[in-house]
């Protein structure tokens, strides 16, 4: 969670629009809570997590709103484009790794569904935000098609 929060912080140094920056700051705060709770399981709550159930709904609302600004995606894309987009793509990959680790942890010690749902939706949000950053910077997404060697 620390690494993910730090990468989100690096993305914020790229000067996202205020609407994006507000969401990214909120994400950093939620990741801090999740990381704290994962480090001290069962401290107050049987699942040990203070992340409110339904926290992923705010992420879904942002995804839905920002997808309306974007053309539908019909191809796979590379993690490329404007600097903000590249940082958001990196944050997405770190989020996916964190999600896999939390799933593994949940098998040994209950984490609770709120964290798993949040991380799952967060990786989708970061992907949409990366596309949005490219769109707003007039930098087209780069299709990921196999190139033949010359």
For residue 16, tell me if it sits in a domain.
Answer: yes
Measure the CA–CA gap between 57 and 49, rounded to whole angstroms. Answer: 17
pLDDT above 90: residue 95:
yes
For residue 56, tell me if it sits in a domain.
Answer: yes
Range of the domain at 88: 2-136
For residue 55, the model assigns a pLDDT of 85
For residue 41, the model assigns a pLDDT of 64
For residue 130, tell me if it sits in a domain.
Answer: yes
Inter-residue contact 128 to 69 (CB < 8 Å):
no
pLDDT band of residue 110 (cuts 50, 70, 90) is confident
Taking only the tens place, the pLDDT of each residue in 16-58 is 999 999 999 999 999 998 998 888 765 555 455 677 767 889 9
Please state, rounded to an integer, the average pLDDT across all residues of the chain: 90
For residue 102, tell me if it sits in a domain.
Answer: yes
For residue 17, tell me if it sits in a domain.
Answer: yes
- Domains in the chain: how many in total? 1
Lowest-confidence range among 9-13, 53-57, 114-118, 141-145? 53-57
Q: What is the CATH number of the domain that holds 23?
A: 1.20.1200.10
For residue 61, tell me if it sits in a domain.
Answer: yes
For residue 141, tell me if it sits in a domain.
Answer: no
For residue 150, tell me if it sits in a domain.
Answer: no
């Amino acid at each position: 969670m620390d690494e993910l929060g730090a990468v989100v912080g690096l993305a914020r140094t790229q000067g996202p629009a205020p609407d994006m920056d507000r969401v990214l700051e909120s994400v950093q705060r939620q990741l801090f809570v999740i990381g704290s709770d994962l480090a001290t399981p069962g401290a107050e709550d049987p699942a040990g997590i203070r992340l409110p159930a339904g926290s992923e709904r705010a992420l879904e609302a942002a995804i839905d709103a920002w997808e309306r600004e974007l053309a539908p995606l019909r191809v796979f894309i590379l993690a490329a484009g404007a600097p903000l987009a590249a940082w958001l793509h990196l944050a997405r990959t770190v989020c996916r790794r964190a999600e896999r680790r939390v799933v593994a942890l949940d098998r040994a010690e209950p984490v609770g569904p709120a964290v798993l749902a949040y991380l799952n939706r967060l990786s989708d949000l970061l992907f949409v935000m990366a596309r949005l950053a490219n769109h707003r910077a007039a930098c087209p997404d780069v299709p990921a098609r196999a190139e033949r060697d010359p």
